[in-house]
Structure 1
């Protein structure tokens, strides 16, 4: 599904569900265990649950992402941002040509630190998460690598749960354990699967969004100047980045539960649907003839980067808060910052799910 109409209809139509039991090919044994996207299909988190199951899982974690809870994190986010910008400047001063990797020094550690703090992941465990989470979104690896990475991530999160059971804290992992152990609302697999979803999605997407925003604004310097001069708000510029170059392109998978028509196209029962959030946000039928252009002054920068309706991303307010703290501080401190290589030299993330680059070399001055 690549148009705005098709994606929004698919997200709203009750005849389209997320549980793999509706996929004819999967139930017929046609999808092998080493299929590259298998972990996105067999999971037991909100990505594969419908109806009351989906609502139950959302209720368990939604309190962690309320505007009030997110606002309480703002002070620590600001401190993390300032520390990372200090590190970026030190790295640039130590570099012979002044070129540094903004993705490695800022885009990556900011959301990883924030999401780790939210879930109570200690500093020793955080590096163990970074590697497997990155590979989790990689569709270029072999099936053996994918399976090994999945079990590595599962092992790290199982150890985290054991540590939090032994020493509970004021964090979301402890809250989910309480729901599992005291209220009996989560199975053990659901507990780990939801940690996989929240930690990986909360880290990977914001990391890509920071890098994508820097690329978009430095490639459109006239629009960056509008923001720097206060003529356009940072929040509006960030929404246009979310529309024009979202951090996620596709999220597998949804399935038709009966023969139906979607955006004028007949689709049989039991078919898998891959929803193209990125292409939908550039749909000319929705945004007009300038849909392909990056324009922070456009009246309507609506997008599907955080999905839609009952599937709307719980972490959207946290991602927006992080962006509205890091982007102004980055360009206020380094107003002449520029990407050090041409776009065609940047290596895209090897993923149909994540939309970002492997590295973002920049010059600060």
Structure 2
């Protein structure tokens, strides 16, 4: 890769301006990660689709050259992404083994069976939103009151995690995936999160239930080491983070987009397009994940004319690919809920592609669809309580959303 590397801001911010500049240069860009670690990001839709399914691209940390050579410190803020033991860092048979253990929970049938419970939880949370607005000044932070507790409650219920742990798990997982933490804070958050998940696993081992954690423990115990303790904790960590952070951002981004584009909202409420169309367009236009770590070429890899050296940590640029004009047309920057109805040839990649495609995609789509339909059904005059430009961006460059979503929920 040639040219001056683009320095990713650890504090994050809205990625779309940087993405537009980088996409103008090409589909692949060299970047500097925190600590001046050399990396790359694949931004173009077609290049990213090829990269995500390429046979010479791996997820295992042993392929990360600087890490293997001992040049990445323990407190590096992105180290957990590389070293956690689970599906996102496994290849080949290990990946298939781990994925099969979890996959049965996220089949279309199992997800469909969850819908009544998700609808009930959504309605209860919206009752709370209405009460909070009535008892206060008429405004509510919809992110913390609604967009967060819905997916967090669902994934914790699936995993058999006690409600008392949910707030701490959200806080710690947020610090683990942040890119702006210092070494001591990063290591402390990682240690506490691992210890807390160990407590969850121990409780389920002592009192098994009809939950995924109990099933994973049983698979380990019955299979003669099919799932080691580190893999169990790593899998729980990944499921907690991926199972709520992505959907939290998706719901937040969709509500923000609809409030900022009332003409698009009217298309949905009039029945001309579906809430599922809104979810797909939000995933494309404002992906809940901006730059996801890491994949590593196992040889020098040429992608769209650019060579990515072997062992380079590469980020998947989902937010950039979603607005790639070469794939989505000259109006790719425009939020247009009729776009899915036009059956565009290039679908978004925001939930992945290839062997590591998001297992929880059906659940995330259902949660977001139910959330939006009930939210705007209950509060059809919902509006932002501050100008959209005043919304603070979520910290870090991995997740993509706002840190708050103050709204006026008018019945």
Indicate the residue corresponding to 2:271 in structure 1. 230
Please report how far the alpha carbon of residue 260 of structure 1 lies from its aligned counterpart in structure 2 after TM superposition.
2.3
> SS of the residue aligned with 1:216?
helix
Q: Is the 8 A contact 1:9 1:263 kept in 2?
A: no
Is this contact kept in 2: 1:164–1:173, CA < 8 A? yes
* 1:81 maps onto 2:126 in alignment: no
Q: How many aligned residue pairs are there?
A: 364
Show the counterpart of 1:318: 363
Query: Is the Cα–Cα contact under 8 Å of residues 338 and 362 in structure 1 kept in the other structure?
Result: yes
Gaps of 5+ in 1: none
Deviation at 1:127, TM superposition (A): 2.4
What is the CA-CA distance between 1:24 and the residue it aligns to? 1.7
Query: Is 1:47 the equivalent of 2:71?
Result: no
Which residue of 1 is the match for residue 25 of structure 2?
Answer: none
Name the counterpart of 2:337.
296
SS at match of 1:125: helix
Does structure 2 conserve the Cα–Cα contact (< 8 Å) formed by 1:138 and 1:349? no
Which digits, 9 at most, give the CA deviation of each residue in 1:127-151, with x for residues without a partner? Answer: 2312112222222221111111111
Report the equivalent of 2:104: 63
CA distance in 2, matches of 1:12, 1:123: 38
Deviation, 1:343, is 2.2
So what's the TM-score if we normalise by structure 2? 0.87
The answer for the alignment partner of 1:134 in structure 2 is: 174
Residue of structure 2 in register with 1:267 after alignment: 308
Q: What corresponds to 2:31 in structure 1?
A: none
Match of 1:103 in 2: 143
Structural mapping, 1:145-224, within 5 Å: 145-183=185-223, 184-224=225-265
Give the Cα separation in 2 of the matches to 1:339 and 1:302: 29
Counterpart CA distance in 2 for 1:328 and 1:250 is: 29
Determine if contact 2:260/2:388 at 8 Å carries over to the other structure. Answer: no
Q: Taking structure 1 as the reference length, what is the TM-score of the superposition?
A: 0.97
Question: 1:260, 1:162 → 2: CA distance?
Answer: 44
Unmatched tracts of structure 2, length 5 or more: 1-41
Using the alignment, how far apart are the partners of 1:173 and 1:33 within structure 2? 28
1: CA distance, partners of 2:194 / 2:70: 25
> In the alignment, which residue of structure 1 is the partner of 2:406?
361
Instruction: Give the C-alpha shift of residue 304 in structure 1.
Output: 0.9
Residue deviations 1:36-67 (CA, integer Å, cap 9, x gap): 10111111111111111111111010000011
Give the Cα separation in 1 of the matches to 2:330 and 2:302.
27
Query: Which moves more between the two structures, 129-138 or 141-150?
Result: 129-138
Which secondary structure state, in structure 2, belongs to the residue aligned with residue 33 of structure 1? coil
- Name the counterpart of 1:114: 154
RMSD: 1.1
Tell me, in whole angstroms, the C-alpha distance in 1 between the residues paired with 2:199 and 2:67.
31
Residue 70 of structure 2, aligned match among 19, 23, 29: 29
Is 1:341 matched with 2:386? yes
Q: Does 1:254 align with 2:295?
A: yes
Give the 3-state SS of the residue equivalent to 1:362 in structure 2: strand
Off by >3 Å, runs of 4+ in structure 1: none
Q: Does residue 327 in structure 1 map to residue 372 in structure 2?
A: yes
